[in-house]
Amino acid sequence: MSQPAPHQPISEELRAKLSRCGAATISNALLKRGYRNTFLLGVQGVAPGQPAMVGPAFTLRFIPAREDKDTMALYARDDGLHRRAIEECPPGAVLVMDAGGDARASCMGDMMALRLKMRGVAGVVTDGGFRDVPGIAATGLPSFQRQASGPATPIALHPVEFDAPVGCAGVAIYPGDVIVGDGEGVVAIPRELVEEVADEAFAAAEYEAFAAAHIARGRSIFGLFPATPDSRVEYEQWVTAGRPAIV
């Protein structure tokens, strides 16, 4: 079977599923498949209530700036990769910016965020930082960073490449990997596993809702969470019964 092309948008159904699982639950489904390092530690959303972010990764790689290549004049040119990324990141994709963990200069400001939002980009994540954070939050674009950073990009960062494999917050990101970000954090799913991981994580999240209802009524986590064969039977019967209120 052929591999989906990078950035091929994911289906609405898949997006909906992934946006409701929780990033941590998704990382568990990946761990079961042997992937231990999929959660981007140390990045957080710019606004508490921002919507979940789901989409294939479009990557931009930065290296440290150098004075001959990183002037404000060169930066402003339309063929600069940083600005081109804002115009060329595919709608539905997540722009992943590898800043080498350097938050001494910004990876994005509010104008760029607004443009990404208008273009239908699903969100942005960097292991560096953003400037104009309140303005970015106001655009509604789901955005994740390590630490706010006001200084202009060319002070410390030089964009070199689109859609190479990169590292971001210590996690390998290959173009097309599906990135999910929510209130729990950001996780990267290898593209070829996204369907099965989404199914499993969604099922796990549904089971968790069942378990939570029981725990909220005083039941122990023993024999209930994580699920046991018995509790799984109980759960299936409850689902079959039309998910009656748990009292």
* Run of H or E residues at 211: helix 194-215
**4 exposure class (CB count in 10 Å sphere: 0-12, 13-18, 19+):** middle
- List of E strands, 25-93: 44-45, 53-64
How far apart are CB 7 and its own copies at their closest, in Å? 19
- Secondary structure letter of residue 62 according to DSSP: E
Task: Please state, as a whole number, how many other Cβ atoms lie within 10 Å of the Cβ of residue 227.
Answer: 17
Which class for 49: exposed (0-12), middle (13-18), buried (19 or more C-beta within 10 A)? exposed
CB of 9 to its own copies, least distance (A): 19
- Closest to its own copies by CB, 5 vs 183, is 183
Minimum CB distance to its own copies, residue 5 (Å): 19
Smallest distance from its own copies to CB 166, Å = 6
Instruction: Output the smallest distance, CB 171 to its own copies, in A.
Output: 6
Q: Which is nearer to its own copies, 6 or 109 (CB)?
A: 109
Q: Which is nearer to its own copies, 13 or 64 (CB)?
A: 64
Of 126 and 149, nearer to its own copies (C-beta) is 149
Which lies closer to its own copies via its Cβ, residue 112 or residue 194?
112
Q: How far is the CB of 44 from its own copies (least distance, A)?
A: 7
Minimum distance from residue 143 beta carbon to its own copies (Å): 14
CA distances from 243 to 17, 84, 206, 214, 237 (A): 19, 50, 11, 13, 9
Question: What three-state secondary structure class fits 29?
Answer: helix
Give which of 100, 154, 109 is closest to 127, Cα–Cα.
100
**3-state class (DSSP) for residue 9:** coil
User: In the complex with its own copies, which residue's Cβ is closer, 5 or 31?
Assistant: 31
Backbone angles phi, psi at 206, to 5 degrees: -65, -40
Q: Is the CB of 11 or the CB of 32 nearer to its own copies?
A: 32
Q: Are strands 157-162 and 166-168 parallel, antiparallel or unpaired?
A: unpaired
